Structure 1
């Protein structure tokens, strides 16, 4: 139980690091005339992602489920992989990455790194983490509730992002992007 608490705390610290990078990058984008979309869904996203961490811990501590070793280790592997994919996205987008939907007019969408393969790879990381993190300690209720709510949020978020990206000049390659 203590190891799971430490894991969730580490993911929480990773989120703080993301916010620092995001704030700096959002300012960079705005200084260059960046236009923000999706202000309406952003507060729900913040609450939902915070609830994932709180819910996973609360469920683990309150239910105290038996956790099969295979489940714990396989889900931990997916959590680590999702973090690696997230930071690959952040590194690939550089100053253009942030947690909001901000596009800088005139900059073509990024089509390198994981964006060569997927249009929204960061959201793959979010989906995998949303399932895997709670399941490291068999917090299946949190995993299910987050996944269902996140599916609705991502439908709105991806639609918003695609509309915003459509305002940019075309990119050569299979993927276009600016996801947070």
Structure 2
């Protein structure tokens, strides 16, 4: 029963995100916030580009290796997204800061999708290893161990600024970022069992160069 509920979690997140983004697009569009609409449409396009992985992960065998990190990460992301679309934004203009934040959002998405593509069949939303698992050391993986999560953080930092309100930054810093850090630590607990990973990890930061 628990495994069945876990398998439904990724599709449920997709449905929730789609509903919230639809509402947000209509709401900001009705107020003439074209930049906000563009960012929300881009966010939905991002989700669609990951949809195959999302539903594929739902069919994969669940594992205690996730240690609840997928659920915590997913819920924290939905909470941040919910506050962005349902709470009023402090600004809805084309200020330089807001445009720069939108650019940061796009850059984060590009980094994440590029990192996922670089991993190929070794990528999953679930913590796992596969037969003949290889450690990818090319592309963004030359610089950090988890560039897909670096992209996730950068994208949401950007979108939080685009739709700035008093609540979203708090949830982002206090809940989503710690959830991503926990997720990384859980993944590394599994990856360190691979022969090549400890040597690869040596000298490479996990998420942000010169920080962590």
TM-score under structure 1 normalisation?
0.79
Q: How does 1:7-86 map to 2 (within 5 A)?
A: 7-24=39-56, 37-59=65-87, 62-63=88-89, 65=91, 67=93, 69-86=95-112
User: Is 2:198 the counterpart of 1:166?
Assistant: no
- Deviation of 1:129 (Å): 1.6
Q: How does 1:58-137 map to 2 (within 5 A)?
A: 58-59=86-87, 62-63=88-89, 65=91, 67=93, 69-137=95-163
Cα distance in 1 for residues equivalent to 2:55 and 2:104: 27
1:46-101 Cα shifts (integer Å, max 9, x gaps): 21222222211112xx3553656011110011011001101110110011112221
- Deviation of 1:163 (Å): 0.9
Structure 1 moving runs of 4+ over 3 Å? 22-27, 63-68, 171-177
Equivalent pairs counted in the alignment come to: 172
Partner SS, residue 102 of structure 1: coil
- Deviation of 1:171 (Å): 5.3
- Deviation of 1:38 (Å): 1.2
Deviates most, 109-118 or 144-153: 144-153
Q: Is the 8 A contact 2:135 2:196 kept in 1?
A: yes
Partner SS, residue 174 of structure 2: helix
Q: Is the 8 A contact 2:102 2:162 kept in 1?
A: yes
Cα distance in 1 for residues equivalent to 2:199 and 2:105: 29
Q: Is the 8 A contact 1:78 1:132 kept in 2?
A: yes
